[in-house]
Amino acid sequence: MVIVVAALALSAFYGLLTRSDRGFELPGRLESTLWSFMRLSGVLIVPLIFGHLAMMHVISGVFDITGGGMTVIGTDVTNESGKAVEFVGARWDMLVAGVAVWRIYDGLLLALVVIHGLNGLRYVVNDYVHPPLANRALNWAIVFGTVALIVLGMARCWPE
């Protein structure tokens, strides 16, 4: 919400400043890099997301996140309290040869999916929203939102 308002204000300010009647444009090279990224990340995301769905929705379900006394999927730890935070903590503290595998898995999936998903949203915006002010505002909201979501989501992926 804050991001959308800030982006709209920034877009209006930019329009006043430059008298620009054009929408948001990325440098040509970045645009084509993103085109390739959508394909490459797509191929990487498919196995990662299928694994995520298998673990969280099929083998164990959403209801098992709060399953007290149940073994947390992908670990050999029991969720004693049946609290969702213990479930997440057990996965993120799971070490294989000293490596926090689920932090890396989740972190990789997060970064790829957020960029892929919000860049896709950008394509939709550019297909449907042509007025320069709104186009710039939405594009900036998407750029800020992408950065914000990655920072927020990865904040605890690093070991403290």
Binding site for another protein (CB under 8 A): 39, 42-43, 45-46, 49-50, 53, 57-70, 82-85, 88-89, 110, 113-114, 117-118, 120-121, 123-124, 127, 145, 149, 152-153, 155-156
| Closer residue to another protein, CB minimum distance, 12 or 84 | 84
Taking the complex as a whole, how short is the minimal distance between the CB of residue 82 and another protein, in angstroms? 4
Task: Closer to another protein by CB, 15 or 117: give it.
Answer: 117
Backbone angles phi, psi at 67, to 5 degrees: -80, 95
Answer whether 74's CB lies under 8 Å from 102's CB.
Answer: yes
Name the residue among 88, 81, 44 with its Cα closest to residue 73: 88
As measured in angstroms, the least distance from the Cβ of 110 to another protein is: 7
Closer by beta carbon to another protein, 77 or else 110: 110
Q: How many residues does the chain have?
A: 160
34 closest CA partner among 115, 90, 110: 115
Q: How far is the CB of 33 from another protein (least distance, A)?
A: 15
Residue 74 CA from chain centroid, whole number: 22
Q: Quick one: 12 or 83, whose CB is closer to another protein?
A: 83
Identity of the residue, 14 or 44, whose beta carbon is nearer to another protein in the bound complex: 44
Q: Minimum Å distance from CB 100 to another protein? A: 14
The amino acid present at 124, given as its one-letter code, is V
- Report the alpha-carbon distance of residue 31 to residue 141 in Å, rounded: 17
The DSSP secondary structure of 125-155, one letter per residue, reads: HHHH--SHHHHHHHHHHHHHHHHHHHHHHHT
Question: Minimum CB separation from another protein for residue 76, in Å?
Answer: 18
